[in-house]
Amino acid sequence: MKRLLLTILLLAAALPLAAQLYHPGEKLLYRVSYKAKMFPNTEVGAVEVLTSSERTNDRSFYKVVGAGRTLPTYRWFFNIEDIYSVWVDTLSLRPQRFESDIREGDYTFQSHYVYDWEDSVIYTRWRSRQKPERQKQMALTPESMDPIALFFNLRSANAEDFRVGEPATLQMVLQDTIRHLRYRYLGREEKRIRNMGRFKTLKFECQLGTTEGYSFTDGTVFTVWISDDRNKIPLYIESPVRIGSIQAYISSYKGLKYPLESLMK
């Protein structure tokens, strides 16, 4: 679930842009399913991404929260509740603060990032269950962001600017390191989404690698289908795991800034 939630938050991060789309009131809901050779395709979790506005110390922010949870039927087996939050300055459209609270069975993990754009530094601190808090200071570049901030980086892009097969790399801040997200655009494709209909989409293949950006481990390759319209919302994600594969697909939406013109009649 943690990988799928991060994937959903990352998949709209294919190009560095001057503008980003944040729209208070937008709510995206996803269902997560698992399938394997001897295991039927079964819904096991849900993810929601909510955007709101907030004012603190005379500053205005967009607040975006991404939350992933196991469905009640499966919580007896493995209970997951992962919550990621980011506060973005409404004037500069740059992230200012990020928090995560991950609870997966007996495993817990919390992290906090503070961005100092003036001095190009990011301060991170994190802790896991029964371990002391750790801290680190890292150099900050315009391409280095938390998962949620990266999620919005593509939302204002013009699809005609993409080049089929052209590779590119982005950087994601994770606790004490900068991870590399490598991707390539595969082209336009019609995609049927369960209980939602058929969509015009933009298809991407992505890999999340090490700090060097070259070595990838099992389950880090995923395919993403994004709505081919001005909203550029994630519609479908598929990622292999050690046994089988996991899919996440949009189940409902509201508060979009633009009509969902990619939905075909």
Q: How would you write the pLDDT of the chain (265 residues) with one tens digit per residue?
A: 444 555 455 443 333 333 357 789 999 999 988 877 777 778 888 988 888 999 988 899 988 888 888 888 877 777 888 888 888 888 887 888 888 888 878 888 888 989 898 998 889 898 987 788 899 888 877 666 555 555 555 555 667 777 888 877 766 676 667 777 777 889 999 999 999 999 999 998 877 665 444 333 444 677 889 899 888 888 998 877 666 778 889 999 999 999 999 999 7
In this structure, is residue 175 part of a structural domain?
A: yes
In this structure, is residue 97 part of a structural domain?
A: yes
* DSSP summary character for residue 246: E
Beta strands in 117-159 (DSSP E): 121-128, 134-139, 144-145
Any idea what the Cα angle at residue 173 is, between residues 82 and 18, rounded to 5°? 110
Q: What distance in Å separates the CA atoms of residue 11 and residue 219, rounded to the nearest whole number?
A: 15
In this structure, is residue 260 part of a structural domain?
A: no
Q: What distance in Å separates the CA atoms of residue 90 and residue 137, rounded to the nearest whole number?
A: 25
In this structure, is residue 265 part of a structural domain?
A: no
- H/E segment holding residue 7: helix 2-10
Q: Say whether pTM exceeds 0.85.
A: no
In this structure, is residue 246 part of a structural domain?
A: yes
Q: What distance in Å separates the CA atoms of residue 21 and residue 188, rounded to the nearest whole number?
A: 22
Residue with tokens 């081919």: 228
In this structure, is residue 216 part of a structural domain?
A: yes
Q: Domains in the chain: how many in total?
A: 1
Coil, helix or strand at residue 151: helix
In this structure, is residue 155 part of a structural domain?
A: yes
Q: What distance in Å separates the CA atoms of residue 218 and residue 240, rounded to the nearest whole number?
A: 8
| φ, ψ for residue 2, nearest 5 deg | -60, -45
Longest distance between any two alpha carbons in the chain, whole Å: 56
Please write down the long-range contacts of 213-221, taking CB distance under 8 Å and 24 or more positions apart: 213/169, 213/179, 213/180, 213/182, 218/242, 219/3, 220/3
Expressed as residue numbers, the domain containing 123 is 2-254
The pLDDT, as a whole number, for residue 241 is 67
In this structure, is residue 263 part of a structural domain?
A: no
